[in-house]
C-alpha cells in the first residue's frame, strides 16, 4: 500500500483508506512554471501508484493564476487531466493534498514538493523533461540545466532502443524479486529515483533473459509514464 511522507508531521502515513475507498489527490499548484509542473507530476505519480495497487483515485486541481498554461504544460508531459477542484465538495474516501514546498498545507495528509529551476519549463522534449524531474526525489530541489536534460535524452534513447530489441525475444515474466523491488519503491512515497535504479540494474543484469527485461520495463512504465515501448515494432 502506498505510503507518503506527510508534510505536516514528517511521518509516513497511508495514502489509501483502510477499506479501499477512493483517494482524492488534490493539487494546489503554485503556478504555470517548472515548480507547478513538478507538483502536478508528483500528483500523477501518486495516482499511478494508487491505481497499480487497486485503489480508485480522483485527480483534482486548484490551479490559481494562469491555469490554462499549467494544464497545457502538464498535458505535454503526459500528466493526466485534472478536474476542477472548486466544482466538488469533500466527498467520501481519503484526500491527499499535493503542494509546492512552502505553500499553505491544507487540513489532511499533505505531500510537499521541492522547488525546480529554471522558472519556465523547457517543453521542447517533454519526455526528457519528465525523466529529468523523476531522477530527483521530489523532496529535493532540482535544477534542470542543459546537462540534466541531455542525460535524460540519452537515457531515454538508449532504453527505447533496448526495449524495442528485447521485444523481439520470447516473453518472460517479470522476476518476482524485481517486481517486489519496483513496488516497494513506488509504494514508498512514490520513489521514482528508486524505480529508475531498479531499471538500471535490470538493464545490465547478465542473468536476466531479454524477454524478462522487456516485461520489467513495460511494467515499470505504468508508473513512470515515459513511453519506453514507443519504438517497439518500428523499422530498424
Bridge partners, residue 143, by sequence: 117
- In this prediction, residue 202 carries a pLDDT of 98
pLDDT in tens, 104-137: 767 889 999 999 999 999 999 999 999 999 999 9
Of all helices (H) and strands (E), which one includes residue 61? strand 57-62
Strands 109-113 and 94-100: parallel
Alpha carbons 67 and 40: distance in angstroms, whole number: 12
Centroid of chain to Cα 71: 16
Q: What residues in the chain have per-residue pLDDT under 50?
A: none
> With contact defined as beta carbons under 8 Å apart, do 199 and 130 qualify?
no
For residue 101, the number of C-alpha atoms closer than 13 Å in the C-beta half-sphere is 12
> With contact defined as beta carbons under 8 Å apart, do 19 and 125 qualify?
no
**Residue 187 backbone dihedrals phi, psi, to 5 degrees:** -85, -10
Residue 87 has a CB neighbour count (10 Å cut-off) of 7
Strands 57-62 and 142-143: unpaired
- In this prediction, residue 29 carries a pLDDT of 85
- In this prediction, residue 63 carries a pLDDT of 67
How much is the pTM?
0.94
Angle at 83 between CA 77 and CA 84, to 5 degrees: 115
- In this prediction, residue 21 carries a pLDDT of 77
Angle at 191 between CA 188 and CA 196, to 5 degrees: 135
Strands 12-14 and 3-5: antiparallel
Cell of 108: 489532511
- In this prediction, residue 106 carries a pLDDT of 75
Amino acid at each position: 500500500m502506498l505510503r507518503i511522507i506527510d508534510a505536516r508531521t514528517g511521518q509516513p502515513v497511508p495514502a489509501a483508506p483502510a477499506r479501499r475507498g477512493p483517494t482524492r489527490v488534490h493539487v494546489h499548484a503554485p503556478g504555470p512554471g517548472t515548480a507547478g509542473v513538478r507538483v502536478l507530476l508528483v500528483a500523477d505519480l501518486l495516482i499511478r501508484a494508487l491505481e497499480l495497487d487497486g485503489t480508485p483515485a480522483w485527480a483534482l486541481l486548484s490551479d490559481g493564476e494562469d491555469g490554462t498554461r499549467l494544464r497545457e504544460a502538464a498535458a505535454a508531459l503526459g500528466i493526466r487531466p485534472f478536474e476542477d477542484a472548486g466544482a466538488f465538495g469533500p466527498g467520501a474516501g481519503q484526500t491527499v493534498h499535493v503542494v509546492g514546498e512552502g505553500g499553505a498545507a491544507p487540513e489532511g495528509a499533505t505531500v510537499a514538493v521541492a522547488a525546480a529551476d529554471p522558472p519556465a519549463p523547457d517543453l521542447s522534449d517533454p519526455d526528457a523533461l519528465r525523466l529529468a524531474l523523476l531522477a530527483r526525489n521530489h523532496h529535493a530541489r532540482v535544477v534542470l540545466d542543459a546537462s540534466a536534460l541531455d542525460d535524460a535524452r540519452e537515457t531515454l534513447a538508449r532504453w527505447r532502443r533496448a526495449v524495442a530489441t528485447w521485444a523481439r525475444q520470447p516473453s518472460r515474466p517479470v522476476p518476482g524479486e524485481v517486481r517486489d523491488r519496483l513496488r516497494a519503491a513506488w509504494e514508498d512515497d512514490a520513489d521514482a529515483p528508486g524505480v529508475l535504479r531498479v531499471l538500471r540494474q535490470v538493464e545490465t543484469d547478465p542473468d536476466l533473459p531479454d524477454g524478462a527485461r522487456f516485461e520489467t520495463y513495460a511494467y515499470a512504465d505504468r508508473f513512470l509514464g515515459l513511453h519506453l515501448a514507443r519504438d517497439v515494432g518500428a523499422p530498424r
